[in-house]
Each structure stands twice: as C-alpha cells, then as structure tokens.
Amino acid sequence: MVGFANKGAKDYVVDSMDASFRYAQDFSFHLQNFTAIAYNRLIKPKQEVTLAYQFFVSEAYSARPYGFTVNLFYRDVDGNQYLNAVFNETLSIVELDEGLDGETFFLYVFLAAVVVLVAVAAQQFFVSFSKKHISSAKASKTETGTSNPNDVDYDWLPEETLNSLNKSPKVRQSPRQRRVKRGTGSADD
C-alpha cells in the first residue's frame, strides 16, 4: 500500500507504479521486474489516495537478502513527469518451514525401505549360515523303513483291515523285481 498526498496547489495524475528485485550490493542490476500497474488517477490539491500494489516472488529465489524498489510515476497538469522511489530497501527472503512436505515424506519412505531390505538380507544371511552350521554338526538320517516284519505295530489298524492283510499272499518283492507279463510283443523276450 502506497499513500499519495497532494499538498500543493496543482492537480497531479498518478500514472503507474512498478517494482523490481535487484542485487543488494548493486542496485543497477535488475534480477526481476514486477508488473507495472496503471492507475491514471487525478488527485486534487489537499487530497490523499492510497494505492495497492501486489506481487509474488518466484520460488526460484534462494533465501538471502535482495534489494527491493517500488517506483511511483506521476505528473502534474503542466505535463512535467516525476519518478519517486517510494520504497528502496533491502529485503530478506526466508523459506517457510512447512514441516513434512512431499519430498521429505518420500525420503523417509525410501530410508524405511532400505532399512527393511537390509534387515531381510541380514536375516537370510544368518538363517543360511545357521542351517549350514547345524546340518554339518548333525549327520543326516536316512529312513530305511522296517527291515524286520515283527517290528511293525498293527494295533492302530481296524480289525477288518488286519484280517484282509493276513489273507493276502506273503510274497514280498519290490516293484522292480516283479516281472511284467506281456500279452503281445516281439519274440525277443
């Protein structure tokens, strides 16, 4: 907001107002020119007017001090033009601490995924190492079945099944030792 008071005897016309960012050490170099707003308002003697000027700073600017200048262009009724720097100071741009933004959230998600991946890899390493250690300590047992038919416990079988087992022939051959009878085939057998 810029206030303009006409304390003279002539009418004045406020033409426009503009602003710019400059280096804080060198005001001759412009970093960004903001929009010039045309007002074209007539201010009579003993009148005051308040002018609004709004601007937005680009997100590309880093947090540091910048020179900021607001210029007011006006003229009198005789046609004489004037330029007045109504604001000419150094401003510091600061970044707002938003707390948890999207970039920080995904950084934490990525770090959590890496921690889980390392934990799973370590667990797999220790499990495989302990299995090798345990298996080398114990000899693996091979199951041989029952070599003596008297060692088999038949108490858990129903009585009908036991009767059918006792009636079946006692020939014990492995499936490989049995001969397959062929009804047809070549005479080379």
Range of the domain at 88: 2-92
Residue 157 confidence (pLDDT): 82
| Total count of domains within the chain | 1
Min mean pLDDT across 66-75, 95-104, 118-127, 141-150 is at 141-150
* Residue indicated by tokens 């280096």: 23
Query: Of the candidates 58, 38, 69, 50, which has an alpha carbon nearest to the alpha carbon of residue 2?
Result: 50
User: Is the Cβ–Cβ distance between 18 and 34 less than 8 Å?
Assistant: yes
> And the tokens for 162?
């036991």
Whether 152 maps to a domain, the answer reads: no
Task: Provide the whole-model pTM.
Answer: 0.48
Whether 140 maps to a domain, the answer reads: no
Whether 29 maps to a domain, the answer reads: yes
**How far apart are the C-alpha atoms of 117 and 174, rounded to whole Å?**
51
Whether 43 maps to a domain, the answer reads: yes
Whether 39 maps to a domain, the answer reads: yes
Whether 179 maps to a domain, the answer reads: no
Residue 178 confidence (pLDDT): 61
Residue 109 confidence (pLDDT): 95
DSSP states along 77-103? TT--EEEEEEEEEEEE------SS-HH
DSSP H/E element including 106: helix 102-137
User: Is the Cβ–Cβ distance between 57 and 93 less than 8 Å?
Assistant: yes
Whether 150 maps to a domain, the answer reads: no
Whether 78 maps to a domain, the answer reads: yes
Residue 32 confidence (pLDDT): 85
**How far apart are the C-alpha atoms of 75 and 49, rounded to whole Å?**
15
Give the CATH number, domain containing residue 72.
2.60.40
